A and B are shown apart, each in its own frame.
Chain A
Amino acid sequence: MKLSRPLAALALCIATLAAGAQNAELPASPSEIKAPSFKTFVAQPPTRLEVHSASGDFAAPLLIIEDHQLPLVFGLLLFEAGSLREPEDKSGLADLYVEGLREGGCSEFTGAEFNSWLDSHAVELSMQMTQDHLRISFSCLREDLEGTLLRVGQLLRSPAFDGRAVEVGRMQILNGIARAKEDSAELATQAMNRVLFGNTSHFGRSATAASVSSIAIDDLKKYHDSNVGLDRVTVGISGDVTAAMGVDIATQALGGLGLVGTASALPTPVFWSPERTTIYVVDRPGVPQTELLLGGIGVRIDDPSHAPLTLWSYVVGAGGMSNRITQRVRTDLGLAYMVGCGFSGGLARPGQFYAYCGTRNEAVGDALSEMLEVITATGSEIIPKEELNAARARLLGSQVFRYDSADEQLERAMTLQVNALPSTFWETNLDRLRQVTPSSVAMAVRNHIPPARFLCVAVGPADEIIPYLETVANVVLLSEDTPIANSSKDAQQAIDTMFTVLGGKERWRDLTSVYTEQVAKITYKAGTAEVPVLQWRTFEPLQIRMRQRMMSGLFFTNVISKGEGWLQAPSGVSSVSADSIQVWKTQMQRWIYYTLHRLAQDESSITVSIDSEGRIVLTEDSGQLCWITLDSLGRPASMGVEERGASKVYTYEEWSEADGFPYISRFKEGENQTIEVSKFVPNVEIEEGTFSL
């Protein structure tokens, strides 16, 4: 057989090669290949140990995975710190802290001495700040583990934050800020964060020359003293080390770290979804290609929609070349080299949906239209089962590569540890992906990928691209002064949008009574219980009748009406104390439906604003009433209230409709109650005597 030909026969070459390529002894198609069964693989679990403090009264978790093939060791320290814990007016502090820590030396050695030691021992040391963690990782030769970790420990115990080193770091960060303007992808990401989360949100802000210049060395020290201690770290070591050696060295190196106390709670991101698709243009003159970035809300990894949405993203734009956006925009039309979509994050908080494409300036309208069309088409169809299974195969088939080295296994184990997730978490997540159906994808897409309300950023020469983009959607040229929708002055606009999504203000203004049937699933230390509840409520006046079957099987009924209250127990009827009536009244006032009813009435006693986390805050003269976040469709996603001196968060997981009236069909109250609402009747007729016992 001839598989190559002289140039003289080029015209026949391909055909001849092809004829020879079909060897009769080999399978004619891949389907004829009998692949052996896969060796089911069980990842090596880490050895779980502890790093004890010098005083012995505290211990930090230490995970070790031994792998002795090569004389190398990988180490990872994750401190619960992160850029989200930098002060509001000090954007860039976390990055400058890392530079100062890494280069600034300590009481035992200077930064230059530290670098020389690392160089001479071939240690690769990396310090980075993620949103949630200070991440210190290193790779070293086996014999240098002790020297490396001891020095890292010394640096962490007594960082000097040498002034000269800090200034060099500051200069490099300022250079990076300036250089970011030459990187379309970076510019697009910054702009997307800004429009998606708002100027004032931790998630929307970017470091500026001014904010970085304002950071003092004392700020770095304060950040260190507040966030970097033994009680905030999880330590991991993998490679050519024994567990005994690892714990010994880690204890020597890190046991002397002080304790800094519990980490402050991190803000929750609030995403913005415009009323109609809006394209924010960032001007980058003189480049021939425009970077397009679509963005929107994602979901937490434990959200029931996470698995369907993940699989959907593999159908639409992730996991290689076999997806719809790549097929359409790149293969069919040749409009892009890099194009795709996916979800980021999702472990600590809802992640982010993104879709991206780089295309020539004159094609930017076509490329964006095609992307939007591919994405929105999936919202109105049931994805064929075969296509979904193919996406599932791509996603699940490559999972084994997340475990093919000791370092990766350690990273996975550390992720579970720092997020307090069970050891079965990854497996459970895979099971969820296996169970995704076309209909569950359709429902998740309908709930989370709002059609015609996309947020888009385009980075390119504004003069050239705006005319093309204006044929696709509303265009806003973004500059430092451009008002962002998700800012405090637009809180009322957010509420107006919310009511539009919820069917208009009028229906909520006219809502005066509600009847619900629901089951509260309550988790206790000892187990779980289900409590069926029937509720009748009126808003004017505020009244409630609640009948519930307790775990004992006995029924209790509460009635609160016009300043009086009664409890009907199996033993008889009794009056409710004045204090309890007040508690009930407060709860009734902060019920989401009553809050929406009041907002719809445009009550002048309520003022609305958006806080630094992008949440809509409702305030009365007496103080904060509550805060509300909205989901990607603009519906309430959560509400936070103060109850009896403590914060309580209601998370609205699922919305449904009853005769066209939207209601929350599943929500969480705090951490341990999930309420499933099976019946919701707005403006129900209340029978006489309902609010008396």
Chain B
Amino acid sequence: MISLPTVFIAGLLLATTVTTAPQSPPEGGLEKLEASVIEHQLENGWTFLIVPRAGVPVVSFHTYIDVGGIFEDPGATGMAHMFEHMAFKGSRRLGSKDWSLEKRALSDVDKAYAGLEAVRLAGSAGAISQAEARFTSAQDRAARLVQPEAFSKLLEEAGGSGSLNASTSAEETNYVVSLPSNRLELWCWLERERFADPVLREFYKERDAVLEERRMRVESDPFGALIEQLLGTAFTKHPYRRPVIGYAEDLTRFSRTQAEEFYAKNYGVRRFTTAIVGDVDPKTLVPMLESYFGDFEPGPEPTTVDIVEPTQEAERRVEVEFPAMPIVIAAWHIPGKSHADTTSLEIGLSILGQAQASRLNESLIRNRGLGAEIGSFSGLPGDRYPNLAVVYGIPAPGVPIESLEAGIFEVMTKLQADGPTDEELAGAKTRARANLLRGLASNEDLAASLCEWKSKSGDWHNLFRQTEVVAAVTAKDIQRVFAKYFTKDNRTIATLVPLQETTGGL
């Protein structure tokens, strides 16, 4: 036997030395894991889900906020995502060289930007140029008072450099980081600063960075460009039709003041769920959470989106010209996550296009050679409200996109008519169970799943009930939901049409 590989973490004082397996030993499996989840809701409505996991001395933090793109005002698309970026910019006492001076400088930036916007609407070229110069000058003065990346720096130097992140979707915003477990109070301190006292400094430079993100994800990416048009066509009323990253026209217009308004309107802590999973002791953690977060006001009453997407009456089509090879995406309106049909739809889509030997793979790629890549999923662009189930395909070289599209519908029609085989259904259920287990394995994934189920279903226990719900699905259920939702009138087809012969490359 060779000597043990030891890993000592740098720069930390020695205390207890723990030799350990990565996770706790087996004692009851899922039931034990479920029983170990502690829910603690503060009086203000902020919910914390705590899962102590002995073993490696690390903790994953996941703050999930029920705020996403669908809560944005018209003309300010992308604001939820923009605020997510700004939530790393620090507070009055974190990130400023002199807050009293910076406060005035930021006010000057706001005024200069308002002035610039005003002359852009009605001013001469010379006036615009002068206003731009004033705006640039105001930004430069404010920038000189900033301590760069003070917020991120503290978390990164505490061990969070590989995990510090955030994301925004149509209906939620997530802030995540994993740290060594002795940094628990640092996380509390910073999360409090982030949400109690955010200062939206360096706003317009960050807005430029977000525009670059849009160029990367949407304007230079064939799938990104196609999805944006698909959503805009499939939804006519519901805000799911708007891109989370925002339209370029809005991104170049909205202001720092609007971002502050968005925060004040939407970031009430009753919309907050935070999961903390890892090497923690609830006895010390809960009082700490009360100290750091108990004095937040509940904030505005959480709102919901009342707009109902009208029933689609006829097939819709949209073509996007793009310098790329063809893609086809077919999308059907389906109900939101809490609807009784959701699980049957998910199992059906798994059989249709999510497995190695899925119907689409076997028929259209392996047997008929029509496609190079095909798949299916649901929940586009979110799943809290009625959303889209999607089948996408990339034709094999030389295959007309119409042939692939027709092939997709043939396979779906057959699955609807014949229903899945017993083996297919059993396999899909087994995959659902295995995927549930895989999603519980890491601290990060468990924290994310608990937050999502708590927020979207109202009870995180539903995460652990999924295998039972899945087990109840029958072949007839799948036939029924396919017949109900995957109709011609209910679908939108988006195709990417090559703009020109792709000449790039080597």
Contact = CB atoms under 8 A, between A and B. Distances in A.
Contacts of B438: 72, 124, 139
Given A121-B430, A175-B396, A479-B506, A358 B215 contact: yes
A360 interface: yes
A405 B23 contact: yes
Contact of B57 (A39, A140, A179, A330): A39
B21 A406 contact: yes
Contacts of B58: 400-401, 404
A480 B506 contact: yes
A67 B506 CA distance: 47
Contacts of B156: 319-322, 393-394, 397
A357 to B, nearest CB: 9
Interface in B205-231: 205-213, 215-216, 219-220, 222
A156 interface: no
Contacts of B268: 4
B427 A119 contact: yes
Interface residues of A, number: 134
A285 interface: yes
Contact of A427 (B8, B20, B24, B152): B8
A409 B22 contact: yes
A384 to B, nearest CB: 14
A137 B327 CA distance: 30
Interface in A534-559: none
Contacts of B13: 37-38
Interface in B1-56: 1-26, 29-30, 33, 56
Contact of B153 (A33, A119, A322): A322
B183 interface: yes
A411 B181 CA distance: 23
- Of A319, A401, A408, which is in contact with the most chain B CB atoms at under 10 Å from its CB? A401
A571 interface: no
A517 B187 CA distance: 58
A267 interface: no
A40 B427 CA distance: 43
Interface stretch (A22-30, A220-228, A592-600, A614-622): A22-30
A492 interface: no
Interface stretch (A183-191, A269-277, A446-454, A648-656): A183-191
Given A21-B196, A43-B5, A320 B161 contact: yes
Main secondary structure of the interface of A (DSSP, over half): mixed
Contacts of B3: 423-424
Contacts of A601: none
A69 B505 contact: no
A153 B397 CA distance: 34
A120 B427 contact: yes
B93 interface: yes
A4 B297 contact: yes
Contacts of A404: 22, 56, 58, 178, 442-443
B131 to A, nearest CB: 18
- Of A4, A29, A33, which is in contact with the most chain B CB atoms at under 10 Å from its CB? A4
Interface string B74-117: 00000000000000100111100000000000000000000000
Given A122-B435, A283-B504, A174 B15 contact: no
B127 interface: no
A409 B19 CA distance: 13
Contacts of A423: 2-5
B178 A21 contact: no
B24 A69 contact: yes
B504 A116 contact: no
Given A72-B441, A120-B426, A395-B161, A14 B500 contact: no
Contact of A112 (B189, B197, B295, B366): B366
B190 A30 contact: yes
Contacts of B30: 70
Contact of B56 (A26, A41, A191): A41
Contacts of A168: 365-366, 369
Contacts of B453: none
B133 interface: no
A320 B198 CA distance: 20
Contacts of A288: 215, 219-220
Given A39-B181, A41-B18, A390-B157, A336 B504 contact: no
B286 interface: no
Interface string A457-486: 001000000000000000000111000000
A423 B4 CA distance: 7
A171 interface: yes
B123 interface: no
Interface in A36-83: 36-45, 48, 65-72
Interface stretch (A5-13, A297-305, A341-349): A5-13
A465 to B, nearest CB: 12
A315 interface: no
A37 B24 contact: no
B362 interface: yes
Contact of A392 (B4, B10, B14, B433): B10
B20 A41 contact: yes
Contacts of A321: 88, 149, 152-153, 156, 164
Interface string A362-403: 000000000000000000000000000010111111111111
B159 interface: yes
Contacts of B295: 1, 3, 20, 23
- Of A289, A327, A336, A408, which is in contact with the most chain B CB atoms at under 10 Å from its CB? A289
Nearest to A112: B357
Interface stretch (B258-266, B309-317, B329-337, B379-387): B258-266
A182 B324 contact: yes
Contacts of A4: 264, 267-268, 296-300
B473 interface: no
Given A39-B15, A395-B161, A122 B431 contact: yes
Contacts of A335: 208-209, 212
Contact of A41 (B57, B160, B183, B219): B57
B182 to A, nearest CB: 5
Interface string B121-162: 000000000000000000000010000110011101111111
Given A112-B366, A182-B324, A320-B161, A36 B297 contact: no
Given A40-B18, A359-B212, 19 more contacts: A1-B295, A14-B260, A39-B15, A39-B17, A44-B19, A44-B21, A141-B433, A165-B366, A288-B215, A322-B149, A331-B148, A334-B208, A390-B157, A392-B10, A396-B10, A401-B58, A401-B159, A405-B23, A423-B3
9 contacts: A20-B295, A39-B16, A70-B30, A121-B430, A187-B506, A286-B500, A289-B220, A334-B204, A409-B22
Interface of B: 1-26, 29-30, 33, 56-58, 88, 91-94, 143, 148-149, 152-154, 156-164, 178, 180-183, 185-186, 189-190, 192-193, 196-199, 202, 204-213, 215-216, 219-220, 222, 260-261, 264-265, 267-269, 279, 291-292, 295-300, 322-325, 355-358, 362, 365-366, 369, 372-373, 394, 396-397, 423, 426-427, 430-431, 433-435, 437-438, 440-443, 499-500, 502-506
User: 6 smallest A-B Cβ distances: which pairs?
Assistant: A334-B208, A396-B10, A397-B159, A122-B434, A4-B299, A37-B15
Interface of A: 1-7, 10, 13-14, 17-18, 20-23, 25-30, 33, 35-45, 48, 65-72, 103, 112, 115-116, 118-122, 124-125, 139-141, 164-165, 168, 171-172, 174-175, 178-182, 184, 187, 190-191, 194, 206, 240, 282-289, 319-322, 326-327, 330-338, 358-360, 390, 392-406, 408-409, 412-413, 416, 423-424, 426-427, 430, 433-434, 459, 478-480
